[in-house]
Structure 1
Amino acid sequence: MARTLLTSAVVPDAFISTGHLAPTADVRRILDATWAEVSAELGGSNSEVYPALAAADPDQFGLCVVATDGRVFDAGDAYAGFSLMSVAKPFTFALVCGHLGAERARAELGVNATGQPFNAVAPVLAAVGGRTNPMVNAGAIATCSRLPGADLEAQWTHLLAGLSAFAGRDLAIDDELYTNVSATNVRNRQIAAALESQGALASGPDDALELYTRQSSLLVTAHDLAVMGATLADGGMNPVTGAQVVPAELCHHVLAVMATAGMYERSGDWLYDVGLPGKSGIGGGIVTVSPGKGGLGSFSPRLDVAGNSVRGVRAAARLARDLGLGLFASRPL
């Protein structure tokens, strides 16, 4: 069955690439239709890892698209606050790549998918030097240990400034979630200890874990994620503020790791269905990046068994196809 993609074209139900983001009226129409359709999806359930996540309203659902030319489109609860959690990982990796260089970062952190749950300890113990990848908890804790700064607070200042620059506004910690995470962070403490035993940390395990906990506890919105994604899509330049957040050449490396490992053990399914780099978090957020075109931010707390937002995954697949965003299309339009 044919669908209208752009006002001037009708294309079949197939993967296509436009080479640009659609005109404003078409993005608005497709985003609204996607939000309405996916809102009916009631699968999945809130994360129960931390009390604050379990208490989130499961019916909240927000979508936002930010184009590399600065256009912003939103639907539903696009400005509802939620915790950044693992969606922070690619952006922290970008900052560390800027500090160390992309090749040294790869050598020290690894870039290959583990095929195991995001909070698994086993890959650390199995890999040479404890190398996993920056999109899982172990690799992200190791990444945080390599942030520049003479001490914990200097590292945090650098990290917070960098993540805020990606979002285009000053971000702040959700105190309730930070307290939850700090009090019940048993698995991540085990991971940090395993990393230390493998010589995989560049700082003490307590400092690395504290940085990781703070970044995970930042309060964001689907709009923020879309801006952050659009910054990676635009070669490190924030299309809303005009700031060059990271060097353009680093975005290739960050997006590559997002594509292979950003959705945990479901990364293959995600790439098969969506065809774009993405990163999820158990707070219900997903950032999706269409290089050269823009970023998609979504928020819905209902998760699948891998920890990915059910509505967010479905919305990304629909928008990637209907807006012609996919990387792997063989029928450019």
Structure 2
Amino acid sequence: MKRLLETLVENNREITKKGNLASYIPELLNADKNDLGVAVITLDGKVHSAGDCSKKFTMQSISKVVSLILAIQDNGKERVFEKVGMEPTGDSFNSIVNLEIKQKVKPYNPMINAGAIATTALIYGVSEEEKFEKILNFTRKVTGNNDIDINKSVYKSEKLTGDRNRYLAYYLKSNNTIDGDVEDILDLYFKQCSIEVNCIDIAKFASMLANDGILPWSGERVISREVSRIVKTIMVTCGMYDASGKFAVHIGIPAKSGVGGGIMAAVPKRMGIGVYGPSLDKKGNSIAGTHILKELSDELDLSIF
């Protein structure tokens, strides 16, 4: 496996030149465009990695998986999906179109920004600090990495430049889709997006999902099989922004990407995969990371379809 991963990184590193770093969060421009790494965690707990797998990056939209899980655990699936839909959208992840022009007050799904803000707003806690500790501690537990924390520079950068997300949140508030103080909800959302991980961390998280909610290395169940199923299904249909359909056809693995360059992919009953490559395609997905997942899926017959 390690030799295969090393070959995939070597063969696809040149593709990083064809993409661009995320620019709408200025701090993300400090990443090295040429970085590329991959990690695989099999369900017996073995770790295989290659390339820049120890490089840290912020979760960004990958954190939407965490907030969705916690929202369902705190509220039940019926309450969550009263507030957020579960249908894919052909619009970009930060689009306002499906809320305003289409008069769709309920966000289409939890993987676009509006939907993720709505699920974050549903997480229980007496304060923003308590809610964030819940998000952070859950991430640490599932990854087995107690050193995980936020990148404060990225958090500040997101907070200073997050006007589109502010519009989305205030629009949701004005239509009673979310409750609570909008600025507190946004601050929590910016913090969760700024949690810093590496390829191995997200591969471990994905391996829990691949194992139906059980940590492969300890046997501990951390989420129910039903929640795991719901999350993986939404990852298939909505996890790769408005390239989700193409990704499902050509790669066929439940996955969630982030503009920090990470992709977390869960192959049911087989493995969790973490990829990092901050050079993005036009849809906001890691351009070389997507190629690695395509070749890995083809080589190991990973498609669930």
* 1:223-260 CA distance string (max 9 Å, x none): 11100111111111222344322112211100111111
* Partner of residue 22 from structure 2, selected from 22, 47, 66: 47
Identity of aligned pairs, percent? 32
Residue in structure 2 matched with residue 32 of structure 1 by the alignment: 6
Residue in structure 2 matched with residue 260 of structure 1 by the alignment: 237
2-structure distance, mates of 1:241, 1:92: 23
Q: TM-score normalised to the size of structure 1?
A: 0.88
Question: What amino acid sits opposite 2:166 in the alignment?
Answer: R
Residue in structure 1 matched with residue 254 of structure 2 by the alignment: 277
1-structure distance, mates of 2:304, 2:106: 31
Evaluate the alpha carbon distance shift between residue 127 and residue 244 of structure 1 in structure 2; reply closer, same or farther with a 3 A threshold: farther
Question: What amino acid sits opposite 1:110 in the alignment?
Answer: G
2-structure distance, mates of 1:240, 1:58: 33
Q: Offset at 1:198?
A: 1.8
2-structure distance, mates of 1:46, 1:128: 31
Report if aligned partners of 1:32, 1:75 keep a CA contact under 8 Å in 2. yes
Instruction: Give the SS at the match of 1:130.
Output: coil
Q: Offset at 1:271?
A: 0.6
Report if aligned partners of 1:64, 1:222 keep a CA contact under 8 Å in 2. yes
2-structure distance, mates of 1:51, 1:240: 37
2-structure distance, mates of 1:81, 1:28: 20
Report if aligned partners of 1:61, 1:300 keep a CA contact under 8 Å in 2. yes
Compare the two structures and name the one with the higher helix fraction: 2
Residue in structure 2 matched with residue 18 of structure 1 by the alignment: none
* Partner of residue 107 from structure 1, selected from 82, 99, 106: 82
Residue in structure 2 matched with residue 117 of structure 1 by the alignment: 92
> Please, which moves more after superposition, 175-184 or 160-169?
160-169
- In structure 1, list runs of 5 or more residues that go unmatched: 1-26, 329-333
Report if aligned partners of 1:168, 1:240 keep a CA contact under 8 Å in 2. no
Instruction: Give the SS at the match of 1:144.
Output: helix
Q: Offset at 1:127?
A: 4.8
Pairing 1:205-284 to 2, within 5 Å after superposition:
205-284=182-261
* 1:28-56 CA distance string (max 9 Å, x none): 23222211211121210111112221121
Residue in structure 2 matched with residue 8 of structure 1 by the alignment: none
Pairing 1:52-201 to 2, within 5 Å after superposition:
52-125=27-100, 126-170=102-146, 171-201=148-178
* 1:64-103 CA distance string (max 9 Å, x none): 0011110110001101001110011112211211122223
2-structure distance, mates of 1:77, 1:255: 26
Report if aligned partners of 2:20, 2:33 keep a CA contact under 8 Å in 1. yes
Q: Offset at 1:128?
A: 4.3
2-structure distance, mates of 1:172, 1:298: 19
Computing the radius of gyration over CA atoms, which structure comes out larger, 1 or 2?
1
* 1:181-221 CA distance string (max 9 Å, x none): 11111111111111111211132211211111000001110
Report if aligned partners of 1:95, 1:246 keep a CA contact under 8 Å in 2. no
Report if aligned partners of 1:44, 1:302 keep a CA contact under 8 Å in 2. yes
Report if aligned partners of 1:64, 1:73 keep a CA contact under 8 Å in 2. yes
* Partner of residue 283 from structure 2, selected from 267, 292, 306: 306
Residue in structure 2 matched with residue 6 of structure 1 by the alignment: none
Question: What amino acid sits opposite 2:186 in the alignment?
Answer: L
Q: Offset at 1:262?
A: 0.5
2-structure distance, mates of 1:78, 1:279: 17
